[in-house]
Structures are given as C-alpha cells and as structure tokens.
Amino acid sequence: MTTPPPATPEPTDPGESPASGPTAPSGGRPWKKRVKRGALIALISPLIALTLYTLVMYNWSYSQGDRSGILRKFSKKGWICKTWEGELAMTTVPGVMPELWAFTVRKDSIARRVTAALGKEVVLHYSEHKGLWSDCFGETPYFVDSVTVIGSP
C-alpha cells in the first residue's frame, strides 16, 4: 500500500498564500493617502479657479468704444506693479467744466504714443474689463489700445 502525499491547502483569499498566511496591505494606511490628496486638492483648486477667472476677465472685454478729449495727465504708477495711468478731459462745449475720464495703458508702445500726444486733442479706443481683482492689471477697468491725434489746442 502506498500512502498518498500530504495535501496542501488551497488558498481561499487572493491576499493569502499557503505558507505565509495573510499578507499586509501595501503602502501602509490608505486613509492617510486619501486625506493628503484631499487636502492638496482643497489647497490647489481655489488657486486654479482664481487663475482661470483672471485669465478670462483679463482677455474678455465687457465693452469697447472711443472717447475723445484733451490728454491732461499720463504717468507710470504703482509700488510693485507699475502701470501706465492717464486722464482725459472730455468737454462738449468750450468753457464748461470738463468731465475727467481715467484710463490705463498696458503696452509700452501705446504709452509712448500717448506721451507724445499730451496736451493735444485725441481719440482713444479702449476696452473695458470688469471684475479684475488687483490693481496690478491697472487702476481702472478701461484699457486703451490705440491713440489718434485729431488736433492741437
């Protein structure tokens, strides 16, 4: 008579091997990873949302138009973020107190043309950008993108 070989138990769980028993889950505690990932998402999501909002508001204009008058003031202002800021005196009838309109110029090439036109009658083409949250983009929502000199006083 022959004796049968000893039977090896079949593993019942995929994480269990016949020789070593149950194995420990890899990577430690999975809930800690989820908490870290959630905290990271909670910190980064507002920054991404603010960046996207800023890009949309900076590149999308609420309105566009032209304003005419005499350029009274133009300077580069700001402590950290230097922006070109100007003032246009608009009047309908000579001798009447003019309405002052403040504007911002983003490009240095346009700023040079505005500087050359100081004291002259001009037409400024602008686009209005509402909702910008910082003065680093300009002190006004009106961004001038072209200047046309129409006369001199």
pLDDT in tens, 109-121: 999 999 999 999 9
Quickly list DSSP for 36-73: HHHHHHHHHHHHHHHHHHHHHHHHS-SEEEEEEEEEEE
- By C-alpha distance, which of 49, 71, 81 is closest to 118? 71
Whole-number Å distance between alpha carbons of 9 and 18: 7
- pLDDT given for residue 75 in this prediction: 94
Rg of the chain (C-alpha set)? 34
Q: Which of 6-10, 47-51, 114-118, 132-136 has the highest mean pLDDT?
A: 114-118
pLDDT tens-digit profile of 42-95?
Answer: 888 888 888 888 787 777 888 899 999 999 999 998 888 889 999 999 987 778
pLDDT tops 70 at residue 11 = no
- Cβ atoms of 146 and 117 within 8 Å: the answer is no
Alpha carbon 44 to chain centroid, angstroms: 15
Q: Residue written as tokens 């973020």?
A: 81
**Residues whose CB is less than 8 angstroms from the CB of residue 87 and which lie 6 or more positions away in sequence, other chains included:** 71, 72, 73, 74, 100, 101, 102, 103
How high does pLDDT run on average in the chain? Answer: 81
pTM (two decimals) = 0.65
